């Protein structure tokens, strides 16, 4: 547990320090970022001068929750954010006009690499998802975690009420309850899956069988003219190429940034950004995964409508993604 406490204390401390430093002064474009592994591409583009080389003054501002990040977007304190399609659609309906300009992770972005996994407590005797019928599982409602759990159940032919979902927003609490046996299962992102596996948890399912854009970067429309988007993506693409070329070097940077617990570093398989097949929605020849398609946006929107997260479907799903 000391590893968990230390990791999250360091991450929160870094976030508060940077947030305070940028509150009054800062870059022309402040981009909010959640502490996910693939947000490293933003940090590298900013820290290694790749945005600056494109004539962009970009600063990455860490946030610990999508709720706080969304509030900053609504307040006009950010030019954009790293998150997922769910965040984008909720914020758009709340009046924050924005569009997705890049994808950083997809479930098919790195063949053989998992991005999320359903793990069971070291004390659990479950050997399959079927064994978890009626078990308590930690989720964060109305998030990508909740979405993926529904997709998993659908994929496995299990009913929506197979688990007893416990909405636990704070990730450190979620991890502690899982490892202590107070919760039998949790759906977690990497590198947290690797972290809890190192402490005795077991993975019964992961997302490698899905085909879904998981993490995206969106910019406010007034920051998303065609020239800015091209330069922004060129910087991200160069960052992605550097990370793909020297994964161990950037794994160390992820640890320093609080994106990867040191205890999970040895077991964590470094993510890859490039080498992906293009699709009809992605016109940019760079090293990033393909942009979400119209069908991707509609799939998320239908799921959100069903769960009461959206009042109406986007008028034109193509408006959610640039170009």
pLDDT at 262 over 50: yes
pLDDT cut 70: percent of the chain above it: 86
Sheet holding 116-120, edge to edge: 164-167, 136-139, 185-189, 116-120, 202-206
pLDDT surpassing 60 at residue 16: no
Closest CA to 206 of 156, 243, 248, 172: 156
Q: What does pTM read for this prediction?
A: 0.85
* Mean of pLDDT values over 10-24: 40
Note whether 119 and 185 are within 8 A (CB): yes
Q: Which of 285, 221, 269 is nearest to 110 (CA)?
A: 269
Query: What is the pLDDT, as a whole number, of residue 284?
Result: 47
Cβ atoms within 10 A of the Cβ of 177, count? 19
Count of CA atoms in the C-beta half-sphere (13 A) of 74: 14
- pLDDT category, 287, cuts 50, 70, 90? confident
From CA 205, how far away is CA 237, in angstroms rounded?
31
Domains, in order of start, for the chain: 2-108+212-320 (3.40.190.10), 116-209 (3.40.190.10)
Average pLDDT over residues 29-38: 93
Q: Are 86 and 34 in contact (CB under 8 A)?
A: no
3-state SS, the chain, equals CHHHHHHHHHHHHHHHHHHHHCCCCCCCEEEEECCCHHHHHHHHHHHCCHHHHCCCCEEEEECCCHHHHHHHHHCCCCCEEEECHHHHHHHHHCCCCEEEEEEEEECCCCCCCCCEEEEECCCCCCCCHHHHCCCEEEECCCCHHHHHHHHHHHHHCCCCCCCEEEECCCHHHHHHHHHHCCCCEEEEECCHHHHHHCCCCEEEEEHHHCCCEEEEEEEEHHHCCHHHHHHHHHHHHHHHHHHHHCHHHHHHHHHHHCCCCHHHCCCCCCCCCCCCCCCCCCCCCCCCCCCCCHHHHHHHHHHHHHCCCCCCCCCCHHHHECC
Residue 282 pLDDT exceeds 90: no
| Mean pLDDT of all residues in 277-288 | 54
Confidence of residue 199 (pLDDT cuts 50, 70, 90): very high
What pLDDT is attached to residue 23?
36
- pLDDT computed for residue 187 by the predictor: 94
Comparison of pLDDT for 275 and 297, the residue scoring more? 297
- Which pLDDT band holds residue 283 (cuts at 50, 70, 90)? very low
The structure tokens listed for 212 are 């879904």
**What pLDDT is recorded for position 277?**
45
What pLDDT shows up at residue 276? 52
The whole-number average pLDDT for the span 154-160 is: 95
**Phi, psi at 196, each rounded to 5°:** -75, -30
| Residue 323 preceded by cis peptide, ω within 30 | yes
pLDDT of 280 over the 50 cut: no
pLDDT tens, residue by residue, 94-142 = 999 999 999 988 765 455 678 899 999 999 999 999 999 999 999 988 8
pLDDT at residue 281 above 50? Answer: no
Mean pLDDT of the chain: 86
pLDDT tens digits, one per residue of 165-193: 999 988 889 999 999 999 999 999 999 99
Question: Tens digits of per-residue pLDDT, 200-255?
Answer: 999 999 998 887 888 999 999 998 999 999 999 999 999 999 999 999 999 999 99
150 touches 220 (CB < 8 A):
no
């Amino acid at each position: 547990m000391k590893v968990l406490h230390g990791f999250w204390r360091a991450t929160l401390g870094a976030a508060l320090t940077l947030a305070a430093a940028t509150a009054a002064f800062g870059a022309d474009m402040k981009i909010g970022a959640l502490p996910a592994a693939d947000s490293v591409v933003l940090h590298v583009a900013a820290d290694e001068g790749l945005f600056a080389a494109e004539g962009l003054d970009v600063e990455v501002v860490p946030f610990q929750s999508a709720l706080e990040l969304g509030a900053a977007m609504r307040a006009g304190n950010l030019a954009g954010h790293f998150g997922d399609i769910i965040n984008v659609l909720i914020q758009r309906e709340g009046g924050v006009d924005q569009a997705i300009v890049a994808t950083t992770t997809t479930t098919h972005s790195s063949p053989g690499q998992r991005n999320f996994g359903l793990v069971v407590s070291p004390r659990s005797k479950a050997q399959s998802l079927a064994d978890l019928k009626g078990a308590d599982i930690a989720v964060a409602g109305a998030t990508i975690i909740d979405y993926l759990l529904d997709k998993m159940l659908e994929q496995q032919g299990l009913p929506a009420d197979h688990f007893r979902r416990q909405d636990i927003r704070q990730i450190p609490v979620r991890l502690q309850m899982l490892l202590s046996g107070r919760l039998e299962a949790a759906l977690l992102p990497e590198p947290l899956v690797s972290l809890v596996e190192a402490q005795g948890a077991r993975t019964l399912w992961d997302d490698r069988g899905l085909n879904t854009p998981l993490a995206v970067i969106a910019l406010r429309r007034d920051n998303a003219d065609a020239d800015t988007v091209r330069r922004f993506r060129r910087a991200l693409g160069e960052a992605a190429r550097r990370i793909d070329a020297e994964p161990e070097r950037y794994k160390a940077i992820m640890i320093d940034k609080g994106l990867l617990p040191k205890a999970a570093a040895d077991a964590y398989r470094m993510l890859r950004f490039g080498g992906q097949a293009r699709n009809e929605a992605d016109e940019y020849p760079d090293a990033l995964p393909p942009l979400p398609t119209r069908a991707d946006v509609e799939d998320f929107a239908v799921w959100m409508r069903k769960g009461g997260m959206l009042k109406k479907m986007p008028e034109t799903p193509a408006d959610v993604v640039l170009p």
